[in-house]
Amino acid sequence: MYKKILVLRFPAEVVEQPIVYQLVKEFDLSFNILKATILPGKEGLMVMELAGHPTQFNKGLAFLRELGVEVKTISQEIRKNEEKCIHCGFCTAVCPTNALYVDRETMEVKFDPERCTGCELCMPACIVRAMEAHFHKELVEAS
Amino acid sequence: MGFKVKKTIDEINEKIKRGEAVVVTAEEMVKIVKENGPEEAAAAVDVVTTGTFAPMCSSGAFINFGHSTPAIKAYRVWLNGVPAYAGIAAVDIYIGVTEPCEEDPLNKVYPGEFRYGGGHVIQDLVAGKTVHLKATSYGTHCYPRKYLEKEVTLKDLPYALLCNPRNAYQNYNCAINLSDKTIYTYMGILRPRAQNANYATSGELSPLFKDPYLRTIGVGTRIFLGGGVGYVAWAGTQCNFKVPRTEKGVPLSPAATLMVYGDLKQMSAEWLVGVSILGYGCSLSVGIGVPIPILNEEVASFAGLSDEELFTQVVDYAHDYPNGIKRSYGTVSYAELKSGTIKVLDKEIPTVPLSSVVKARKIAEILKSWIKEKKFLLTEPQAPFPGTELYPFR
């Protein structure tokens, strides 16, 4: 099983097509949408975890590219700025994977990057803006 | 009153000056009272230090920005683009922490981010940063100038007083959302169908929980405020003593509040932090610590109250709260809230703290060290708040 978190950018022309459905039907891939939004210019942005057989996975990506969908593997890393964090807990309300959680012993807010899917929900939820997305050139792959 | 242990604030201060006072934090006091009972605890302990650190929206600062030549009677004033209230004397203003930046899109793109506001201005000032001041006016004989722009720093300002009309709420609601859509509130983000329960008090560390009738706290009580020394001015807005209480006398819902003030120039950016609450607005997280003088066993017993003995109400913020409907979906203890889940409506709901226990603990420790190092003496309150009475101090 091959699994990756992808950032997909859909051009405005294809936003209304059931593309993710095709990934399931044609390439036998499973998906978990972590974030999906239509931007003001009508282009779509989706953060998705995609999993399946490596061959099928790559065929799926080729299919996406053919449609004009820009595909990037997650190219940023979410970090918690410990200088800024005040250990309030606001962020733990929205973190879908409990990557952000309260250590019950110390009542500190902890961040486990292993569990982070990069959905970015914590970034505006943090009242002191301590959650930061860092761009990693070395992680940007052509896939 | 027939107490077995009787101390006065003067006596406690004498002990502090001699370096003999026994000072413990509220969490330490919980253990001491549990193990030895209130009477022994009262005999052994002189001062209990408390702490809380959370967004406190009713906060702001009075600033005098000094006269320029020619002089101006400021009519409208902005600090880093955030409007300040100028309807007082010529160069006096009040900057409130929930005031957003003039050009803020507010909630037009929902939920709004409210990145910069009055609270951030105050944090920038105490951090020593330069703040841009703009003032306009209509011109008078005595104050002919109509426009002023200048860079100011806290050091250069002739006067800056943090003055918060309502802080340190004694107890606060635990918020849930019973609708089927996520809502964005001052109690944080509430996911639909009660998927999270947000609460905002530091529980057994919280100042006013430890003196539930405010019988040692009143006008003039010296406190830890924003990293410096401040004072209690008066009862805070919405201060209310007529609330349902536990058998021991602890409020079961929001009750007393404090109005506090202190010289901004000796405060720190670690304890006055500008915050942006998604979809709601901006504010300021304020650090406050109140010392409780252990005058007798009753004070000791209150100061020793534990999270298991402190309760609040679970309130729906989707429908009930905005419509003024007073309904509780359950009474939960702070011990349950701090455990990570509460059981309400027959379901386990994960809890989300909004008040930093880490910071509250640190405040209680700092205040304890100030007192131990003889840098901080207790004050005798000069008057009680309306609706309560103080212990006789002599």
Which chain A residue has its CA at the smallest distance from B286's CA? A86
Is the predicted pLDDT of residue A74 greater than 80, yes or no?
no
Is the residue at B98 inside a domain?
Answer: yes
The residues near B318 (Cβ < 8 Å, ≥ 6 apart) are: B177, B178, B179, B181, B183, B190
Q: Choose the closest CB to B353 out of A89, A94, A124.
A: A89
Of A1-10, A53-62, B277-286, the poorest mean pLDDT is in: A1-10
Is the residue at B135 inside a domain?
Answer: yes
Which chain B residue has its CA at the smallest distance from A90's CA? B354
Residue-level pLDDT at A39: 85
Q: Choose the closest CB to A102 out of B55, B278, B340.
A: B340
Q: Tell me the chain A residues in contact with residue B356 when contact means C-beta distances shorter than 8 Å.
A: 86-89, 107
B355 touches chain A (CB under 8 A): yes
d(CA B17, CA B20): 8
Is the predicted pLDDT of residue B149 greater than 90, yes or no?
yes
Residue B142 known to be catalytic? yes
Is the residue at B172 inside a domain?
Answer: no
Q: Confidence class of residue A140 from pLDDT cuts 50, 70 and 90?
A: very low
Q: Confidence class of residue B392 from pLDDT cuts 50, 70 and 90?
A: confident
Measure the N-to-C terminal CA separation of chain A; round to a whole number of Å.
16
Q: Confidence class of residue A143 from pLDDT cuts 50, 70 and 90?
A: very low
- In angstroms, the separation between the Cα of residue A110 and the nearest Cα of chain B is 12
Q: Tell me the chain B residues in contact with residue A127 when contact means C-beta distances shorter than 8 Å.
A: 55, 275-277, 283, 285
Could you give the number of structural domains in chain B? 1
Q: What is the DSSP string of B148-191?
A: EEEEE-TTT-SEEEEEEEEES-SS-PEEE--SSS-EEETTEEE-
Q: What is the DSSP string of B186-254?
A: TTEEE-TTTT-EEE---GGG-GGGGSTT-SS--TT-EEEETTEEEEEEEEPTT----S-B-TTS-BSSS
- Asked if B358 and A94 come within 8 Å (Cβ–Cβ), the reply is no
- In angstroms, the separation between the Cα of residue B54 and the nearest Cα of chain A is 7
d(CA B234, CA B217): 10
- In angstroms, the separation between the Cα of residue B342 and the nearest Cα of chain A is 14
Is the ipTM higher than 0.85? The answer is yes
Which chain B residue has its CA at the smallest distance from A103's CA? B340
| B49-103 pLDDT per residue, tens | 999 999 999 999 999 999 999 999 999 999 999 999 999 999 999 999 999 999 9
Residue-level pLDDT at A4: 80
- Asked if B189 and A93 come within 8 Å (Cβ–Cβ), the reply is yes
Domain membership of residue B140 as a residue range: 60-162
Is the residue at B104 inside a domain?
Answer: yes
- In angstroms, the separation between the Cα of residue B68 and the nearest Cα of chain A is 35
Is the residue at B116 inside a domain?
Answer: yes
Residue-level pLDDT at A15: 80
Which chain A residue has its CA at the smallest distance from B198's CA? A93
Complete domains list, chain A, with CATH: 2-73 (3.30.70.260), 77-133 (3.30.70.20)
| B151-174 pLDDT per residue, tens | 999 999 999 999 999 999 999 999
Q: Tell me the chain B residues in contact with residue A131 when contact means C-beta distances shorter than 8 Å.
A: none
Mean pLDDT over all residues of chain A? 87
User: What percent of chain B stands above pLDDT 90?
Assistant: 99
- In angstroms, the separation between the Cα of residue A65 and the nearest Cα of chain B is 31
Q: Confidence class of residue A76 from pLDDT cuts 50, 70 and 90?
A: low
d(CA A106, CA B27): 13
Of A86-90, A133-137, B123-127, B374-378, the poorest mean pLDDT is in: A133-137
Q: Tell me the chain A residues in contact with residue B285 when contact means C-beta distances shorter than 8 Å.
A: 86, 88, 127-128
The active-site residue, picked from B101, B142, B174, B239, is: B142
Is the predicted pLDDT of residue A138 greater than 50, yes or no?
no
Is the residue at B236 inside a domain?
Answer: no
The residue written with tokens 């003995």 in the block is B309
- Asked if B357 and A129 come within 8 Å (Cβ–Cβ), the reply is no
Residue-level pLDDT at B186: 98
- Asked if A89 and B356 come within 8 Å (Cβ–Cβ), the reply is yes
Please name which of B357, B335, B379 lies closest in space to residue B223, comparing C-alpha atoms: B379
Mapping DSSP to helix (H, G, I), strand (E, B) and coil, where does residue A138 land? helix
Mean pLDDT over all residues of chain B? 97
Is the predicted pLDDT of residue A117 greater than 90, yes or no?
no
Count of other CB atoms within 10 angstroms of residue B163: 17
- Asked if B353 and A88 come within 8 Å (Cβ–Cβ), the reply is yes
- Asked if B273 and A86 come within 8 Å (Cβ–Cβ), the reply is yes
Q: Could you tell me whether strands B76-79 and B131-136 are parallel, antiparallel, or unpaired per DSSP bridges? A: antiparallel
d(CA A143, CA B20): 69
Q: Confidence class of residue B182 from pLDDT cuts 50, 70 and 90?
A: very high
Is the predicted pLDDT of residue B290 greater than 80, yes or no?
yes
User: What percent of chain B stands above pLDDT 70?
Assistant: 100
Q: Tell me the chain B residues in contact with residue A106 when contact means C-beta distances shorter than 8 Å.
A: 358
Is the residue at B304 inside a domain?
Answer: no
Question: CA dist B192 to A119, B210, B336, Å?
Answer: 19, 34, 21
Residue-level pLDDT at A136: 57
Of A115-119, B130-134, B262-266, B368-372, the poorest mean pLDDT is in: A115-119
- Asked if B189 and A102 come within 8 Å (Cβ–Cβ), the reply is no
B265 touches chain A (CB under 8 A): no
| B194-206 pLDDT per residue, tens | 999 999 999 999 9
- In angstroms, the separation between the Cα of residue A79 and the nearest Cα of chain B is 19
Q: What pTM was computed for the model? A: 0.88
Q: Tell me the chain B residues in contact with residue A124 when contact means C-beta distances shorter than 8 Å.
A: 111, 113, 276, 278
Please name which of A20, A21, A66 lies closest in space to residue A47, comparing C-alpha atoms: A20
Of A45-59, B247-261, B344-358, B377-391, the poorest mean pLDDT is in: A45-59
Mean pLDDT of B110-137: 98
Q: Best interface-test mutation with A: which of B317, B352, B362 has the largest number of A CBs within 10 A?
A: B352
Which chain A residue has its CA at the smallest distance from B200's CA? A88
Measure the N-to-C terminal CA separation of chain B; round to a whole number of Å.
12
Which chain A residue has its CA at the smallest distance from B53's CA? A88
Question: CA dist B21 to A58, B18, B230, B375, Å?
Answer: 72, 8, 21, 13
Q: What is the DSSP string of B334-378?
A: HHHHHHTEEEETTEEEEEEE-S-HHHHHHHHHHHHHHHHTTS---
Q: Confidence class of residue B1 from pLDDT cuts 50, 70 and 90?
A: low
| B28-52 pLDDT per residue, tens | 999 999 999 999 999 999 999 999 9
B105 touches chain A (CB under 8 A): no
Is the residue at B332 inside a domain?
Answer: no
Residue-level pLDDT at A141: 42
- Asked if B358 and A107 come within 8 Å (Cβ–Cβ), the reply is yes
